[in-house]
Structures are given as C-alpha cells and as structure tokens.
Amino acid sequence: MTKRNATLLALSTLVIGLVVGAWTVYKFGLIFIQSTYESRLMADAATRVSVLKALQASDTKKAIRQLENGLDGDAVGMADILDKGLEPEKLRATLTTVARYRQGTQYVSAEPTIAS
C-alpha cells in the first residue's frame, strides 16, 4: 500500500466515523428530547385532571394548592436555567410575574428556595 492510499484510507475512515458519530448523537439527542417532552406532557395532564376533579368537587383549596405547587416547580426550573436559557429576559419577566402574584397571596411554599 502506498503512502497516498494509506492517507486516503485514514481520511475516509475518519470522515465516515465522524458522520456515523454525528448521526448517532443526533438520533439519541432526539430520543432524549422527545422522551423528556412526553414525560412533561403526561405529568401536566395528570396534574390538570387532578385540579379539574378538585374544582368539580368544589375543593378549591386543594386545586389552588396543586396549582401553587406546580408554580413552585416552574419557578425553581426557570431560576435554575435563568443564566443559561435562550431567552433570559422572558424568564426574568415570568419570574417577576410569579413574584408579584405571590406577594398578593398568603401562600407559603414548602420549597426553601422559593420566597413566599
């Protein structure tokens, strides 16, 4: 095998490896994103069903508690990605809206990182 052929073989192997590696990372990334999205949808649907059942049973305190707990989780998540997010201005604006809402309520969060 000549030096030229060996170089071409090495380069073609490198290119094929990069293409296969990139495709694999892309596919696994899509699977991860899709499973995360599906999990979020299922959790949200279960929460909404529970809140709706509480409201239909005229148990507004339970419904409000569930919505407040969900809002706690949203606030923790937004605060966690605030500096790394794609839209930090919108995250800050939403967190400000949550804080202003909470100032007008008697709700006290069980989550220590949430200012009630």
Q: Is the pLDDT reported for residue 16 higher than 90?
A: yes
Q: What is the pLDDT of residues 71-83, one digit of tens each?
A: 998 888 888 888 8
Residue 26 reports pLDDT greater than 80: yes
Does the predicted model carry a pTM greater than 0.85? no
Whether 115 shows a pLDDT value over 80: the answer reads no
pLDDT digits (tens, 9 = 90+) for 94-109: 999 998 998 888 888 8
DSSP states along the chain = --HHHHHHHHHHHHHHHHHHHHHHHHHHHHHHHHHHHHHHHHHHHHHHHHHHHHHHTT-HHHHHHHHHHHHHHHHHHHHHHTTTSS-HHHHHHHHHHHHHHHHTS----SSTTS--
